[in-house]
Structure 1
Amino acid sequence: MNTLRVARTLQPRGLASSQMVARAASTTAHTSAASSVIPVSNIEAQWETLNSKEQTEVYEQLLEAQKRDWKTLSIDEKKAAYYISFGPHGPRKPVDEPGSGLKVFGLTMAIVGAAGVAFAGMRSFGGEPPKTMTKEWQEASNELAREEKQNPLTGITSEGYKGKGHVA
């Protein structure tokens, strides 16, 4: 009798169809079985504050709701089902918190600066460059390459070569 009243309120005109009575019976049975039903509106804001038992209850509640026709689901139920399935929580929670890009950039610049200081220190205490890095040695290497006809296709002894050869 109570189920029929609920079905009549859902369908204002005419008699309640058997489908409406069955749907109303399932919703009243479900709400009486789960006395502590958690509202699914704005589940995105509530999800992290719920304990695991409440999260499981909401999940099961939405599983049962999704077994019905999707046209009968409310917008809040559809949004909650999507958030629980694909939302940024649990293993899909972002690793970096907002604003961490500036921190990463600052640390990267500090490491590059430390590497520059280390490079300058090594250059200042490194001593004289080797004798093979002098301009005279490199020009002598070019003459030797021409005498021995090194790399005749594209190198210093090729026709029309206009490069510097071994001179840096």
Structure 2
Amino acid sequence: MLRTVATRTRVGAVRVVQRRNASNVAVQNIESRWSTLSTAEQNTIAKQLEEAQKGDWKSLSLDEKKAAYYIAFGAHGPRAPITKPGHASKVVAGVAGVLAASSALFYAIRLGGQEKPHTISKEWEEATNEYLKSQNSNPISGISSEGYKGTGYVVSK
């Protein structure tokens, strides 16, 4: 009876080693090959690695550890980067182009514009102050209050 148990254990160990050697070939350089594998192959490799991880982690090869990490946390599927290299320079160039176009449009509009309105003169602002005083506008803290020392609506020099 004891001989049978020992034989079964040894046969089982050989199977695990053979399976791990086969999976070791499948997981080499998995980062570059993962996108080219079919979904069935990806699932098979993932399940083989999952089974191998259930055992002693010290017995895993470096390739198996790398493959397990890549499958769990690698940049594939929903974790794939959205932008490609050089995307930032395109964004910077686009923003610079929009800013240049808007600056040119602003300058063209300002060139075609008229002089400043006649209401933006010191005389007009002083007349506005006098009118507001005569109408008793804001009598508590404003221009019509007692002892008011501000300039009122005069902002021009």
Structure 2 counterpart of 1:21: 10
RMSD: 3.7
What TM-score comes out, normalization by structure 1 length? 0.65
Aligned to 1:88, the other structure's residue is in SS state coil
**2:88 is equivalent to residue 101 of structure 1:** yes
Amino acid at match of 2:99: V
Aligned-partner residue type, residue 48 of structure 2: Q
Kindly indicate whether residue 48 of structure 2 is the aligned counterpart of residue 61 of structure 1: yes
Q: Say whether residues 1:125 and 2:109 are aligned partners.
A: no
CA–CA distance in 2 between the matches of 1:66 and 1:151? Answer: 83
Deviations 1:4-23 (A, max 9, x none): xxxxxxxxxxxxx89x7376
Do the aligned partners of 1:40 and 1:80 also contact (CA within 8 Å) in 2?
yes
Q: Does the 8 A contact of 1:38 with 1:58 survive in 2?
A: no
Tell me the TM-score normalized by structure 2: 0.68
**Which residue of 2 is the match for residue 112 of structure 1?**
99
Q: How does 1:39-58 map to 2 (within 5 A)?
A: 39-58=26-45
Matched-pair contact (CA < 8 Å) for 1:139–1:166: yes
Instruction: Give the unaligned 5+ runs of structure 1.
Output: 1-16
Q: Which has the higher contact order (CA 8 A, sep 6+)?
A: 2
- 1:62 touches 1:81 (CA, 8 Å); kept in 2? yes
Aligned-partner Cα distance in 1 for 2:71–2:65: 10
Q: Which 4+ residue blocks in structure 1 deviate beyond 4 angstroms?
A: 35-38, 139-153, 155-166
Aligned partners of 2:46 and 2:71 also within 8 Å: yes
- When residues 120 and 71 of structure 1 are mapped into structure 2, their CA distance, relative to the original with a 3 A threshold, is same
